[in-house]
Amino acid sequence: AQSVAQPEDQVNVAEGNPLTVKCTYSVSGNPYLFWYVQYPNRGLQFLLKYITGDNLVKGSYGFEAEFNKSQTSFHLKKPSALVSDSALYFCAVRLHTGGFKTIFGAGTRLFVKA
């Protein structure tokens, strides 16, 4: 079965420290991977995506993600967290078939403490 896993319900980090939000996937074929962020009472916003090429993808608000094919992971990272980064983060994989359906992970809540 094709799936996306975010093993941590919540990540806590102090402002100024690096942050990592983990994501692993299981899909057939080459994966198309996405990260979205959801602020309270808002819709999801696109952060970045991996399609092909360089394994390190840079996105909005200073976030980046590293695609690791051998570990089937696509972890989201930021060198220095801000309090304003506190939000719910979703990893997603877009399938190649079935209407290009997107499967979302369960989400990871990030708390950045001042």
Partner 1 sequence: DTAVSQTPKYLVTQMGNDKSIKCEQNLGHDTMYWYKQDSKKFLKIMFSYNNKELIINETVPNRFSPKSPDKAHLNLHINSLELGDSAVYFCASSQARTSATDTQYFGPGTRLTVL
99 touches partner 1 (CB under 8 A): yes
What DSSP string runs through 54-108? -SEEE-GGG-EEEEETTTTEEEEEESS--GGG-EEEEEEEE-SSTTT-EEE---E
For residue 10, the cross-strand partners are 109
Residue 40 near partner 1 by CB under 8 A: no
Instruction: State the binding string over 42-81 for partner 1 (x if CB under 8 A, else -).
Output: xxxxx--x-x------------------------------
Shortest CB 35 distance to partner 1, Å = 11
Distance between CA 114 and CA 108 in Å, rounded?
A: 19
CB of 81 to partner 1, least distance (A): 21
Say whether residue 34 binds partner 1 (CB under 8 A): yes
Residues facing residue 38 across a β-bridge: 44, 88
Closer to partner 1 by CB, 14 or 46: give it: 46
Least Å from the CB of residue 95 to partner 1: 7
Binding site for partner 1 (CB under 8 A): 32, 34, 36, 38, 41-46, 49, 51, 88, 90, 94-96, 98-104, 106-107
